[in-house]
Amino acid sequence: MSQISPCTKVCRLDSGICLGCFRTSSEISMWPILSDDTARKIIAELPSR
């Protein structure tokens, strides 16, 4: 279960991507059950979105 989060509390989706944290709606919904390793990999990809 991931304890880290890129959430900025700006939860607005545009084309399936959050405008605050750049996660997909699927990533957001799965976040509570992701491992920390998987969460870190996703966070590392966010700047390129």
For every residue of the chain, which 3-state class applies, written as one string? CCCCCCCCCCCCEECCEECCCCCEHHHHHHHHHCCHHHHHHHHHHHHHC
* Tens digits of residue pLDDT in 9-18: 999 999 999 9
* Tens digits of residue pLDDT in 26-48: 999 999 999 999 999 999 999 99
Question: Is 0.75 topped by the overall pTM?
Answer: yes
For the chain, what is the mean pLDDT?
Answer: 95
Question: What's the CA gap between 1 and 6, in Å, rounded?
Answer: 15
12-42: b or e for each residue (b if 16 or more CB lie within 10 Å)? eeeeebbeebbbeeebbeebeebeeeebeeb
Domain borders along the chain are 13-48
